[in-house]
Chain A
């Protein structure tokens, strides 16, 4: 029996989401742009989902623009920056990479450092702003450490400058506060399908993908109707169960962390202001990738920082930005709990960690 503790990489689909998507694929296969009944049914399904997503993020439905995921949403919002972007040193690659593309085009990019806990300082952010700043873009909850930024403070620091938050890891785990102008999210981090996400925009944003005028001209291409339906339902379920899910995750995560700490682990990032499901920790002197592989063989799925880094040479830039040495970063493992986990699984995982540490100590 596998124990999946890597819910920040991706999540299993909620069974209701699977049902809804399967039904949609079988029955609601029309093109939402078509005038006829088949098309109208698909359009209704997309619009119902739009309302569900909007309700979870606290936006109006017409502010929600469906994309193929948060990476596309981040690329879309950054493509509109022409003079100066302010972001941080601990961003997701889907923000870092397009920011580098902007720099090559002559756009100035300022990366505000994070402190040892992984937090962005409001003062440092304010100091980075200048009259040419087009956008402030912040990863709200970090995928590797789970550290959550103080959105109200960052909003105040940004002043009139538009604020974009990547809420991919926050959505479905913590309540979505207001204060942002643009928000990116992805369905597969909250028990929805891969390949679907959204950019929620309270101000105008140009399209990145041009096509047949879908999404009110905001994103060309025939809609991924089943994916959108799955995303919508995942959001509705998260909205209904948010408090209970967060409490359950926190209890499991705390149990897990207590066990890891008892085995000698050191935690990375703030202990408060962190997602309820995540703990990033290092066993000093133990190579993270070796432990991840050995745990996999013993049936426990965890990962080194971000899944996107797996197998790459570079230690996590997020932990480096927090002042961790390359060795500490290489030793760090991200544990993230979610749907389907229970106390027995956490205890079994801890037993296996103890057994593996025994083998090498």
Chain B
């Protein structure tokens, strides 16, 4: 049996490759080249070296042009529209699993192995695939994968879903994989050093303009260099002095206004989603009770979810949730299984 292994040059996908080879599969390494991020200069060669050591064929698929347009520039435009984008969601779907599935069909590969920390199961009654959190909750990547299709999940093989990062490192070292001690990549791949504002300004140099900080009543409190420098829930870097700590509570790109207020103004009773995707392929037919995770590092909050028309959904939390940022993904879980998710259009007032 032939399997494609999505390789990035990091330790996770390297171990996934080794485990695919262990299975006796004819494992073919595929690296999808997306950007020339400074931190990733040697990733292609690292992945190639691991593939060579494992006796695998290895190919590079170049998607850097479309990635710049559809992910990087969309990221900048989202910031300029006052949102806080999460590019990894669209990237995983459009720039990882879509091209991997295309290659899998062409290569006649039945499996697509990746180093994601997530689990896929088959529902024995419906035959549908279920996407579950990885066992290592700290590394769990199911949040980024809610846009995968049933066809993609049916071929997906996530061998790291049942092990922890520490075990991955240990196993990679034991096997002598060349990438065993490579540092983890934490940030967005094309934002080295976490300088989001700098990336937005470089991608859209003419589009940033200064605006005003206002409080909940609309009173101007100061000036700022551009809405792209702020995200809902942000406290640092505002340059405002006040009796109590101030947070960004809302951003209006059209007027350039960044609303700030004390912590209690950050809480939102719910949110509205757009561009929803559902793991089962169709939206749930009735309102459901679920845990909703509003950003990658969020424990999740109990909520009621109601599907609206045109790909929308409304989420009402049992208890208000802080810092619901438009542009981020909200992912709906039933226990540790992903039901679906969408892009946060707005926090409910």
Contact = CB atoms under 8 A, between A and B. Distances in A.
A290 interface: yes
B106 interface: yes
Contacts of B57: 296-297
Interface string A118-154: 0000000000000000000000000000000000000
Nearest to B64: A313
B106 A311 contact: no
A290 B62 contact: no
A356 B28 CA distance: 17
B108 interface: yes
Interface residues of A, number: 13
B106 A289 contact: no
Contacts of A359: 105-106, 108
A360 interface: yes
A289 B60 CA distance: 9
A289 B28 contact: no
B65 A311 contact: no
B105 A289 contact: no
B102 A290 contact: yes
B94 to A, nearest CB: 15
B322 interface: no
Contacts of B2: 297
Nearest to B103: A290
Contacts of A290: 61, 102-103, 106
B62 A311 contact: yes
Interface of B: 2, 28, 57, 59-62, 64-65, 102-103, 105-108
Name the residue among A291, A296, A297, A312 with the largest chain B CB count within 10 angstroms: A297
Contacts of A294: 106-107
A94 interface: no
28 contacts: A289-B59, A289-B61, A289-B62, A290-B61, A290-B106, A291-B106, A293-B59, A293-B106, A293-B107, A294-B106, A294-B107, A296-B57, A296-B59, A297-B2, A297-B28, A297-B57, A297-B107, A311-B60, A311-B62, A312-B62, A313-B62, A313-B64, A313-B65, A356-B106, A359-B108, A360-B102, A360-B105, A360-B106
B282 to A, nearest CB: 27
Given A293-B106, A313-B62, A356-B106, 4 more contacts: A289-B59, A294-B107, A296-B57, A312-B62
A289 B59 CA distance: 9
Contacts of B59: 289, 293, 296
B33 to A, nearest CB: 8
B262 to A, nearest CB: 49
A296 B61 CA distance: 14
A294 B108 CA distance: 9
